[in-house]
């Protein structure tokens, strides 16, 4: 998985972060909180040992998107994770 953003000025794409299914625990989602959680198997240390990450939390605007993305992630994790 990765999060890519399109740059407004030049129109190119850049990757903000990436995460392999082998690096994550089973994903979870909450329709009520409108979020998808991607927990890591191991704590990821930050730059120069400062800070750390347990995974990613992706906020979404509507419940239909959360349900669709959450189910897709669960299916992919069961197949490839």
CB atoms within 10 A of CB 66: 21
- Residue 45's φ and ψ, nearest 5 degrees, are -75, 150
Residue 10: strand, helix, or coil: coil
Break the chain into its structural domains and give their ranges: 20-80
β-strands 28-30, 35-45: how paired? antiparallel
Token pair 């129109």: residue: 11
The pLDDT tens digits of the residues spanning 16-73 come to 888 888 888 999 999 999 999 999 988 777 666 666 678 899 999 999 999 999 999 9
pLDDT reported for residue 54: 87
């Amino acid at each position: 998985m990765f999060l890519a953003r399109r740059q407004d000025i030049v129109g190119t794409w850049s990757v903000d972060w990436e995460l392999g299914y082998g690096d994550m625990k089973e994903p979870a989602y909450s329709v009520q909180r409108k979020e998808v959680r991607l927990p890591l198997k191991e704590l990821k240390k930050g730059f120069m040992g400062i800070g750390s990450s347990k995974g990613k939390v992706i906020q979404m605007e509507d419940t239909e998107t959360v349900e669709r993305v959450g189910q897709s992630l669960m299916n992919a994790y069961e197949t490839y994770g």
